[in-house]
Amino acid sequence: MSARALSQSSTASDLISLTKPRLSSLVLITAAGGMFLAPGHFTPVRALVTLLATAGTVGAANAFNCYLERHSDQFMARTRNRPLPAGRMDPNTALWFGLSLAAVSLPALVMGANLLTGVLGLIALLSYVLAYTPLKARTSAAMLVGAIPGALPPLMGWTAVTDQMDAGGFALFAIMFLWQMPHFIAIALFRKDEYAAAGLKSVPLERGDESSRAQVVLYLVALVPMTLLPFQLHIAGTWYLAAAVVLGLGFLGLGAWGFFKHLGKPWARQTFLYSLVYLTGLFAVMALDRIPRG
């Protein structure tokens, strides 16, 4: 392969990395879940366009985030090798890449789904870039703000099919919102030193480890009953109900164990990993046990 081809391949790889593919894939799974669970019919072509447009919108938000946090990213092990902090890409390239993605994806979201879903996509983009990202250096409350765009994708999937916001869509939104709290706090606990070096605020840095473990438990106490709503709203059946209870009690038990035993970073990492298994399992069983409607 020629040097020019290698350079082009490297640039393409760096541009893709700006979209944070692993994070974006989780967003797409929840958006697709909301779309699949919603009552009504949606053609495969419209579903594909909507998911691609959602991926582009999320990718644009992540590219803007990389641009704005290029200096603090140098101090964190998981981010220092990104194209901007590593010096492999001009910041303006990342900025224009994000703008281009947004300019294409948001109109495509409106055309593929509907205006409501496009507006929700715009809210997710703006709140992530203009509210959550700058607040991370000021207050740990940024976590709550950041959970809003993080919880919108399943609601967007729901509204893409129904063209309305109702109890089912809000239930999915609430589950995602509450799930992010113990997930984020667990990350902040085992990466506490990196957050401090980067100048980013977090619950452990502002409130301490004990308060952080207590908040994990409190959010899980709210999350577990919230996951029962899809059964109560006749979105999913009894197999989902059983899975939600088992997975939820496992999550709550893990959180309580860390709180009462005053556990540290290994427990926080285990909690983070379990949170990923938990969300994947919850949405997978919800989809498998979906109750067809309309």
Phi/psi at 290 (5° precision): -60, 140
pLDDT at 5: 42
3-state SS, residue 285: helix
pLDDT at 7: 47
Residues in the chain, how many?
A: 294
pLDDT band at 9 (very low <50, low <70, confident <90, very high): low
Architecture of domain 166-294: Up-down Bundle (1.20)
Q: Does residue 206 surpass a pLDDT of 70?
A: yes
Is the pLDDT reported for residue 3 higher than 60?
A: no
Check if the beta carbon of residue 29 is closer than 8 Å to that of residue 156: no
Please give the pLDDT value at position 198: 86
Domain extents in the chain: 8-165, 166-294
CATH value of 8-165 in 3.40.50.970, 3.40.50.720, 1.10.286.10, 1.10.357.140:
1.10.357.140
What's the confidence (pLDDT) of residue 27?
A: 85
The pTM is what? 0.92
User: Is the pLDDT assigned to residue 294 strictly greater than 60?
Assistant: no
- Cα separations in angstroms, 103 against 48, 67, 100, 157: 18, 17, 5, 20
**Interatomic CA distance for residues 209 and 217, integer angstroms:** 13
Using the predicted structure, report yes or no on whether residue 14 has a pLDDT greater than 80.
yes
